[in-house]
Every structure is written in structure tokens, then in C-alpha cells.
Amino acid sequence: MADERDSNGDIPEVSLDLDAQSEDLEAAMQAAVAAVESAESAESAEGAESGQGAQDSAAAAAPSDPSDASDQSDEDEVANLRREIADLRDRSMRTLADFDNFRKRSERERQDLKKYALMEPIRDFLGIIDNLELALSAAGAADDLKRGVEMIHRQMTDLLRRHGVKEVSALNQPFDPAVHEAVAREEDPSVQSPTVTGEMRRGYFMHDRLLRPAMVKVSVPVEAPKPVAGGE
């Protein structure tokens, strides 16, 4: 192989066929090449100062062999490239290890978020439980107990609204199978279309999603009698 050197006698930078989009790997390779060239320059300067006389004597005693210098240069290039590849492999392994740690940490955070997502709403409901316990332990007339229950009901309704829960409109509304669950049906001559006339269980939305449908009774128009076949 020919000895390919530039005008200053240095070995030109040898590029590896790596992914051009990986800026980190390319920067690491350039740093490795610069470090090797710096080390070679320092060693050359030290050798030139300490062994200049010995080199001159050897050059005078024996003729130089250009092929030996070329072989040594090729071996140095191969050694440098091997060191660069080893360094890049080590950096890649560390990057993969960091990514695996990041993935595990993200999974733990996702599990914790799922596990404790209801912490704030439950904390708010604890105040309602406290009031229920006070109402159960209090002695008083039935009217006082009823007022206490009504107060707790208002407190719970307000809490649900703060968390985005709202009621499904049902009573006297046109029957909508998407949000109403009919559990009873009756004919009513006063209605022109299926209409909710009774609510057995209230339905709720959470923001724009249905938590549960309203359980309702539906009134439908009275069906006209069918003509008797063969009649006059």
C-alpha cells in the first residue's frame, strides 16, 4: 500500500462509514482522531529530540527502505481505527444502558400515576365522610337529620361538579338511547314522540364522556288501531 501523507508529513484523517445523522458518534470519532494525532505529534517531537543522533548514525550506516515505513504507517492506521471503533462501541453501550434506565423509570412513573390518579378526588371526599359520621353520631329530631343529609348531598354535588361530573338531562326530555336506558314503557296520548316521563336512577357525564346512562320510564304515543282485514 502506498504511503499517503500530506505536505506536512502527517497521516490524513481516515473517515469511517457511519451514520451521517449521528452527530454524537461523529463528534466522538473526530475527538478520537484528534487525540491520536496529538499523541503521535508529541511522540514524534520527543523522539526527534532524544534520538536524532542515533537516527543519523543508522541512516548513514544503512540505506533506508521505503516499503518498511509504508507498512508501519498502515499498521498505525489500522490500530488507530480499532481504538476509535472500540471507543464508539463503548459509548453506544453506555447510551443503550441510559435509555434502558430511562424506560424503566418512565414505566414506574406511569404505574404510579395510574395508581394514585384518584388521590385528589378521594381527599376531597374525606370531608363528606366526616360530615356523614357526625350526622350519624348526632342526636336530634328527624327534621334535623334530614337537613344534615341535604347539606351533605349539596356538598357532594358541588364536589362532583368541581371534578367535571354533571347530570344527564332526562325528565321531560326526548328519549335518547345514547344517554337514557329505558326500563319502563307506557302509552300516553299527550306525547307526540317517545318522551322521558320518569327517572329511576340519575345518569352522569364526566366532561364529555358518559359515566352511566339515566335509568328512565318512557311514554310513547298511542298507536292507532289497525283496520280489520275484510271489513266493510
Q: Reduced to 3 states, what is the DSSP secondary structure of residue 151? A: helix
**Bigger pLDDT: 225 vs 190:** 190
Contact 36, 78 (CB under 8 A): no
**Bigger pLDDT: 49 vs 205:** 205
For 216-232, give the secondary structure using H, E and C. EEEEECCCCCCCCCCCC
Q: How many helices (H) and strands (E) does the chain have?
A: 5, 6
Compute the average pLDDT of residues 29-36: 62
Instruction: Pick one of 3.40.50.300, 2.30.22.10, 3.40.50.10490, 3.20.190.10 as the CATH number of 166-224.
Output: 2.30.22.10
Sheet of strand 195-201: strand arrangement: 180-187, 214-220, 195-201
Q: Average pLDDT over the chain, rounded to whole? A: 77
Domain map of the chain by residue range? 11-47+67-117, 118-163, 166-224
Task: Retrieve residue 24's grid coordinates.
Answer: 454524537
8-state DSSP, 208? T
What pLDDT, in 10s, does the model give residues 175-221?
999 999 999 999 988 889 999 999 999 999 999 899 999 999 999 99
Report how far residue 190's alpha carbon sits from residue 210's, in angstroms, rounded to the nearest whole number.
30
**Bigger pLDDT: 27 vs 124:** 124
List CB contacts of 159: < 8 A, sequence separation 6 or more: 121, 124, 125, 128
Report how far residue 81's alpha carbon sits from residue 69's, in angstroms, rounded to the nearest whole number.
19
Name residue 23's amino acid.
Answer: E
Whether pTM > 0.75 for this model: the answer is no
Q: Which residues pair with 204 in a beta bridge?
A: 167, 212
List CB contacts of 157: < 8 A, sequence separation 6 or more: none
User: In the chain, what percentage of residues exceed pLDDT 90?
Assistant: 25
* Angle at the Cα of 142 from the Cα atoms of 140 and 145, rounded to 5 degrees: 70
Residue 21 has pLDDT above 50, yes or no: no
**Bigger pLDDT: 174 vs 129:** 174
User: How many Cβ atoms are within 10 Å of 25's Cβ, its own excluded?
Assistant: 17
